[in-house]
A = this chain, B = another copy of it.
Amino acid sequence: MSPQQGIFELGLGQNPANHQPLTPISFLAWAEEVYPDRTAVIHGDQRFTYAEFGKRCRRLASALRGRGIGKGDTVAIMSPNIPPMLEAHWGVPMTGAVLNALNFRLDAPTIAFILNHGEAKVLITDKEFSAVIKDALAELGRDITVIDIDDALAPSGELLGEMDYEAFLNEGTSDFDAGSDFWPDDEWDAICLNYTSGTTGNPKGVVYHHRGAFLNAMGNVAVWGLNQETVLIWTLPMFHCNGWCFTWAVTAVGGMHVCLRHLDTEKVFPMIRDHGVNLVCGAPIVLNMLVHAPDDHKVPFEQRVDVYTGGAAPPSTVIAGMERMGFSVVHAYGLTETYGPSTYCAWQDDWNTLELDARSQKMARQGVRCHTLFDQSVIDPETMEHVPADGETIGEVMVRSNTVMKGYLKNPTATEAAFAGGWFHTGDLGVMHPDNYIEIKDRSKDIIISGGENISSLEIEETLYKHPAVMEAAVVAKPDEKWGETPCAFVTLKPDAGEVSADEVIEFCRGHMAHFKTPKAVVFGPLPKTSTGKIQKYVLRDQVKEI
């Protein structure tokens, strides 16, 4: 025995029989084997079984290989939630390449920046977005392979590329890799590249590894009890953290994907009923749209539908409205850097007896670790010490996990800053409650400092949401000579709200919170949002300077 090796190492190394890279690619092979005849994907009149879906993914991989795409290459896609987008989640990584799913609400210069920064060699693009893509390609300054998706359900648009996606699939063969050629060399290999919108400067390219994608998908399976009866409707854009890894997770158990080009409530409710949908994911804006849909859109359904929502916590009125329609809402939290969901607000038995308001307060917290998030804490970023679990002391939410990105592409400075001290810094400020649930109080940059006092913009927003006429609200700091900053509220009223004055809203806030925290100004109108429904506070911060 070598002196360096104990008895449990000697002759007990890794080999192909006992060690293989973790990768979500394995989920497709599983679903093809176990549930070949179950429906994998529904899109309009299209239905693919797992046997068919698997073949389409393999054709895509084979066709890309035929074009020389392989390890370390980037394949971009500009697509709504339709089969080619889902297929790209297997077809691209099967070749060893990296999938770069583009936010289809971005403008041409940003798309051009991303395609060049990510060094995309192929772009698969839906004709709905041809205007933006045409301009972006003109800005690229280099040629790349462009494949058009000519979806029957797409609005009109131009075909820009050299061929149609279906014809491209026919360049490949469906028996691509009966064995395991497509396995990554290493589970640390990159699988996806997702650009965060950011609030200033160019977007950052978040690089995912196979290991993290596999594990976060398994975490989704555990949190949601996903199985072959799972039917997910794609209200969440798949470009957003790869659909919070549900693209892979639903397939991992042989569940069904119901595709959706646009969130049109007139179509969504009948689809939920007709396809037996039992899982909906999305930002709070999705819940808002469902709750405030016209009554004649809201066709009833019999099954229980779980709703997983991230981002800002849904107000209690929205939770109550969803529950009345048969939805069961759970709040989650995560970032692009954490593959989407990293925490969720796990239900505790003793919440059953709480009144709606108290219950909503519990449920609005970001919660506890998903099973695959290894460590989470609220930490003082100066000292790197954990704050006490008192529900009051504010620190930065930090995580350590296999479900954290490799880093930012070509951006070592940002990568190092994000991982300083051996923790991933989320940039979100929060507290740790005594029951180990975290609650986000604000983004670092969203804290308002007025007369030396910290004011949480989130707390003011929660108060505003309690006003019966308020549909959406966002609060930002307004520079103030005397106080340094004061809170300024931007408010969208409900369609049937009637006349409401700024003074009325401020008076309402004074009745519900400390006076120094109440907004000093209220602006009415629609709120600027990102493609995923997040309110763009940086736009409001610009506006507020001109008020």
A375 is an interface residue with CB less than 8 A from chain B: yes
B11 and A412 within 8 A (CB): yes
The A373-430 residues at the B interface (CB cut-off 8 A) are 374-375, 399-402, 404-407, 409-410, 412, 415, 418-419, 422-424
Best-buried of A7, A14, A26, A368 by chain B (most CB within 10 Å): A7
A20 and B401 within 8 A (CB): yes
Given contacts A22-B402, A180-B375, A253-B371, contact A424 B17 (CB under 8 A): yes
Given contacts A18-B419, A374-B20, A374-B26, contact A11 B180 (CB under 8 A): no
Given contacts A222-B218, A253-B222, contact A8 B409 (CB under 8 A): yes
Give Cα distance in the complex from A399 to B26, angstroms: 14
Give Cα distance in the complex from A435 to B35, angstroms: 9
B34 and A369 within 8 A (CB): yes
A252 is an interface residue with CB less than 8 A from chain B: yes
Q: Which residue of B lies closest to A425 (CB)?
A: B17
The A134-170 residues at the B interface (CB cut-off 8 A) are none
Please name all residues of chain B whose beta carbon is closer than 8 Å to the beta carbon of A228 when the two chains form the complex.
346
- Interface SS majority for chain A: loop
B8 and A207 within 8 A (CB): yes
A264 is an interface residue with CB less than 8 A from chain B: no
Please name all residues of chain B whose beta carbon is closer than 8 Å to the beta carbon of A300 when the two chains form the complex.
none
Q: Which residue of B lies closest to A183 (CB)?
A: B374
A406 and B369 within 8 A (CB): no
A221 is an interface residue with CB less than 8 A from chain B: yes
B368 and A33 within 8 A (CB): yes
Cβ proximity bits A316-346 to B, threshold 8 Å, 1 near / 0 not:
0000000000000000000000000000001
Please name all residues of chain B whose beta carbon is closer than 8 Å to the beta carbon of A399 when the two chains form the complex.
17
Contact count band on A: 35 or more
A279 is an interface residue with CB less than 8 A from chain B: no
Given contacts A222-B221, A412-B11, A436-B33, contact A18 B406 (CB under 8 A): yes
Give Cα distance in the complex from A141 to B345, angstroms: 55
Please name all residues of chain B whose beta carbon is closer than 8 Å to the beta carbon of A543 when the two chains form the complex.
none
A130 is an interface residue with CB less than 8 A from chain B: no
A188 is an interface residue with CB less than 8 A from chain B: yes
A6 is an interface residue with CB less than 8 A from chain B: yes
A227 is an interface residue with CB less than 8 A from chain B: yes
A492 to chain B, nearest CB (A): 36
A190 is an interface residue with CB less than 8 A from chain B: yes
Please name all residues of chain B whose beta carbon is closer than 8 Å to the beta carbon of A17 when the two chains form the complex.
399-401, 404, 418-419, 422-424
The A1-46 residues at the B interface (CB cut-off 8 A) are 6-20, 22, 26-27, 30, 33-36
Pick the contact of A72 from B7, B19, B180, B423 — CB < 8 Å?
Answer: B7
Given contacts A20-B401, A222-B253, contact A415 B11 (CB under 8 A): yes
Q: Which residue of B lies closest to A338 (CB)?
A: B18
Please name all residues of chain B whose beta carbon is closer than 8 Å to the beta carbon of A346 when the two chains form the complex.
34-35, 228
A18 and B405 within 8 A (CB): yes
A474 is an interface residue with CB less than 8 A from chain B: no
Q: Which residue of B lies closest to A225 (CB)?
A: B225
Given contacts A19-B402, A20-B401, A424-B18, contact A368 B12 (CB under 8 A): no
Q: Which residue of B lies closest to A71 (CB)?
A: B6
Give Cα distance in the complex from A8 to B225, angstroms: 33
A184 to chain B, nearest CB (A): 11
A126 is an interface residue with CB less than 8 A from chain B: no
Please name all residues of chain B whose beta carbon is closer than 8 Å to the beta carbon of A20 when the two chains form the complex.
374-375, 400-402
Pick the contact of A410 from B7, B35, B435 — CB < 8 Å?
Answer: B7
Cβ proximity bits A217-232 to B, threshold 8 Å, 1 near / 0 not:
0100110011110000
Best-buried of A33, A207, A409, A422 by chain B (most CB within 10 Å): A33
A296 to chain B, nearest CB (A): 34
Please name all residues of chain B whose beta carbon is closer than 8 Å to the beta carbon of A418 when the two chains form the complex.
17
A119 is an interface residue with CB less than 8 A from chain B: yes
A416 to chain B, nearest CB (A): 8
A442 is an interface residue with CB less than 8 A from chain B: no
A446 is an interface residue with CB less than 8 A from chain B: no
Q: Which residue of B lies closest to A72 (CB)?
A: B6
Given contacts A15-B422, A400-B17, A402-B19, contact A34 B189 (CB under 8 A): no
Task: Offer 24 A-B interface pairs, CB within 8 angstroms, sorted by A.
Answer: A6-B71, A7-B72, A7-B119, A8-B72, A8-B409, A11-B407, A12-B190, A12-B207, A12-B407, A12-B409, A14-B188, A15-B419, A15-B422, A17-B422, A17-B423, A18-B400, A20-B374, A20-B402, A34-B369, A34-B436, A218-B218, A222-B253, A228-B346, A252-B371
The 4 residue pairs across chains A and B that have the minimum distance between CB atoms: A8-B190, A6-B72, A16-B422, A18-B404
Given contacts A12-B207, A18-B401, A20-B375, 5 further A-B contacts (CB under 8 A): A17-B400, A18-B405, A18-B407, A20-B402, A35-B346
